Amino acid sequence: DVKVTQSSRYLVKRTGEKVFLECVQDMDHENMFWYRQDPGLGLRLIYFSYDVKMKEKGDIPEGYSVSREKKERFSLILESASTNQTSMYLCASSTPQSGGNEKLFFGSGTQLSVL
Amino acid sequence: QKEVEQDPGPLSVPEGAIVSLNCTYSNSAFQYFMWYRQYSRKGPELLMYTYSSGNKEDGRFTAQVDKSSKYISLFIRDSQPSDSATYLCAWASGNTPLVFGKGTRLSVIA
C-alpha cells in the first residue's frame, strides 16, 4: 500500500515562528501536493511539485514556501506563522496519468495551531 | 461562478437508507470524475472514479455522471454506520491538479 507520512499529527506554534511541515511518500511518486483544509472552505491547494526541485503555486501560496530536494520528500514552510494559518494541512502524492486521471494518496494530516 | 459546487450538509440518515450525494461543475474541460471519502481525523481516500457519462458500480456504491448537465452523484445503498464520513467530489482535466468540492458530511445512524 502507498504510504504518505506526515511528520506531526498535532503541532502548536507561536505567531512569527518559522514552521516546517514534512511529508514523505514511499511509492516513488513524481507528484506531491500540499493542501490545507478548513471548515466551510474545503481542500485548498497551496503548492505542488511534479518533480524534484520543481514547484508550482496552487490557489493560496501566500505566506508559504516549499522544498523538494528529494523525490520522496516534500516540505511545507511557513516563514512567519500567523493565526490565520491555523488549519489542517494535508500532503498528497500521485503518479501522473495521461489526460489527468491521477489518483491522489493522502497523508493523515497535521493539525497546526498558531497562537 | 465557482468551478465545483457541493452541498456541505450535514446529512443524517438511518441505517439501511439510500444516500444520494451530489455535485455540479462549470468547467467543460473536466474529463475525470472522482469521489473521495474522508473519515474523521484522517486524510481523504479515493473511493471511486469514472471517465464517461453513465453509471459505475462498486458494491454498495454507484457513481453517476451526466456530462451534458455537468452533474455527478454518488449513491450509497443499504447505508451503514461505517459509511459516516465526509465525501468529496473531485474533477481532473489534462495535467492540472484535481479540483475538489467542499465535501458533504454524512452521518448514518444505527
Could you give the CA distance from residue A20 to residue A16 in angstroms, rounded to a whole number?
13
pLDDT of residue A40: 86
Q: What is the pLDDT of residue A2?
A: 64
Dist. CA B47–CA B37, nearest whole Å = 6
The proportion of chain A whose per-residue pLDDT surpasses 70, expressed as a percent, equals 94
pLDDT tops 80 at residue A99: no
Whether B88 and A43 lie within 8 Å, measured CB to CB: yes
Q: Between chains, do A43 and B100 touch, taking CB under 8 Å as contact?
A: yes
Q: What span, in angstroms and rounded, lies between the C-alpha atoms of B65 and B22? A: 10
Rounded Cα distance between B46 and B34, Å, is 7
Those residues with Cβ within 8 angstroms of residue B27's Cβ, 6 or more apart along the chain or in another chain: B3, B91, B93, B99
Segment A93-115 shows an average pLDDT of: 85
Q: What percent of chain B has pLDDT over 70?
A: 96
A1 chain-B contacts, CB cut-off 8 A? none
| Average model confidence (pLDDT) across chain A | 92
Report yes or no: B64 at the A interface, CB cutoff 8 Å: no
- Among B6, B92, B96, select the one facing A101 at the smallest CB separation: B92
- Provide the pLDDT confidence category of residue B52 given band limits of 50, 70 and 90: confident
Determine the pLDDT at residue A10: 95
Q: Can you tell me the distance from the alpha carbon of B30 to that of B12, in angstroms, rounded to the nearest whole number?
A: 30
pLDDT computed for residue B8 by the predictor: 82
Q: Tell me what pLDDT residue A1 has.
A: 67
Q: List the one residue out of B48, B32, B36, B51 whose CA is nearest residue B94.
A: B32
Interchain proximity A4–B96, CB inside 8 Å: no
H runs (alpha helix) in chain A:
none
What would the grid cell of residue A93 be?
502524492
Residue B102 near residue A39, CB atoms below 8 Å? no
Cα(B96)–Cα(A96) distance, integer angstroms? 10
Q: Is the pLDDT of residue A6 over 80?
A: yes
A22-68: per-residue pLDDT in tens?
999 998 999 999 999 998 888 999 999 999 989 999 999 999 999 99
Whether residue B53 is predicted with pLDDT greater than 90 in this model: the reply is no
State pLDDT tens for residues B54-83: 889 999 999 998 888 888 999 999 999 999
Q: Is the pLDDT of residue B14 over 90?
A: yes
Contact B98 A102 (CB under 8 A): yes
Long-range contact set of residues B42-46: C-beta below 8 Å, sequence gap at least 24? B42/A108, B42/A109, B43/A4, B43/A90, B43/A92, B43/A106, B43/A107, B43/A108, B43/A109, B44/A43, B44/A90, B44/A104, B44/A106, B44/B88, B45/A105, B45/A106, B46/A103, B46/A104, B46/A105
CB-defined contacts A:B, below 8 A:
60
Q: Averaged over B29-56, what is the pLDDT? A: 88
| Cβ neighbours, 10 Å, residue A83 | 10
Q: Hunting for cell 453513465 — which residue is that? A: B54
Q: What would the mean pLDDT of B17-38 be, rounded to a whole number? A: 88
> Are A99 and B96 inside 8 Å of each other by CB?
no
